[in-house]
Structure 1
Amino acid sequence: MPQLSPLNWIFLFLLFWVAVLSLSIIVWWTNKIYFRSESLGSHISKENKWNW
């Protein structure tokens, strides 16, 4: 493994945690949007009471 300066190790550490945080935010956001659209779809289907 190459010898890195302490500043580069700090940058790698920060880059790793920024990547983990951004990936978890993206997963949370997509799940939030998916469940919101699902609940809206069920609300529309419950509103229509006639079987046309």
Structure 2
Amino acid sequence: MPQLSPLNWIFLFILFWSAVLSLSVLIWWSKKVYFQSQSLKSSNLKENKWNW
């Protein structure tokens, strides 16, 4: 396996952690939006439940 220069190691380090960070933010954002939509649906159901 060929040796990499220190700049390449730094680049790979930054690339790896930026990918991990972006994936975790994406997962967090999708769960956040899902729970917000669920809470909005449940609040709408609660509001409409007693509006006769």
Matching residue of 1:15: 15
> How far did residue 50 of structure 1 move?
5.5
Number of equivalences: 51
TM-score by length of 2: 0.87
Structure 1 residue identity aligned to 2:16: F
Q: How does 1:36-51 map to 2 (within 5 A)?
A: 36-48=36-48, 49=50
Q: Once superposed, what is the RMSD of the aligned Cα atoms?
A: 1.4
Unaligned runs of 5+ in 1: none
Structure 2 CA distance for aligned equivalents of residues 25 and 50 of structure 1 = 39
> How far did residue 24 of structure 1 move?
0.6
Structure 2 residue identity aligned to 1:14: I
SS in structure 2 of the partner of residue 4 of structure 1: coil
Question: Identity rate of aligned residues, in percent?
Answer: 67
TM-score by length of 1: 0.87
